[in-house]
Amino acid sequence: MTALLHSQLGAADLLGLFGHFLLLSLLAVGGAITTASDMHRYVVDQHHWLVDAQFSASIAIAQAAPGPNVLFVAALGWNVAGPMGALATMTGTLLPSTMLTLYVNRWGLKRRETRGLRSFTTGMTPLTIGLLVATGWLLAVPYVIDGPQRLGALALVAFSIVGMTRTRISPMWLVAVGAVVGALGFV
């Protein structure tokens, strides 16, 4: 199925897009990228506003650009509904998380040494890792399962997993290896 053009989205769709990204903002433990799997479900699977390739390209282009990692949210919104889509997704993503961060930071500074707060922050680590793994899998699936360079993609995923779990190498080197492998056409 092909994606819709931005001009076909009405005010109700834009409000729904805003509301969905607003809710996801409250789940974005570890950054907005951790909720990319549900963003995909909403804009690709449920509403068919984008196709898999457009979704992955939106994230890749935004991640390659200088600036904050959250730019992919604006790229998704732009590809769904143009400037109004970008406004809806970015406002929905930034508004609740910013307000909550300001409040919780003030609250947490007064209680930073309490056992409950330390336990909470320690417990959030596996949740963040799980959300990042889900996002990584979502972005890899089109290349690992259906892509013509499936073996290269699988090898790159395996190499990255080994590199991250068995060495202390900076992830930037793994990104560089992925860029070179992709530029050479192996993935």
What does the block give as tokens for 128? 């963040």
CA dist., res. 10 & res. 16, Å (int): 10
Q: Taking a C-beta distance cutoff of 8 angstroms, is the pair 143, 153 a contact?
A: yes
CA dist., res. 179 & res. 187, Å (int): 9
What does the block give as tokens for 24? 């996801």
What does the block give as tokens for 80? 């769904």
Residue 7 pLDDT: 52
State pLDDT tens for residues 2-49: 455 555 789 999 999 999 999 999 888 778 888 999 999 999 999 999
**pLDDT higher for 65 or 83?**
83
Mean pLDDT of the 61-79 span? 89
CA dist., res. 176 & res. 181, Å (int): 9
Is 54's pLDDT higher than 90? yes
How far out from the chain centre does Cα 48 lie?
18
Residue 27 pLDDT: 84
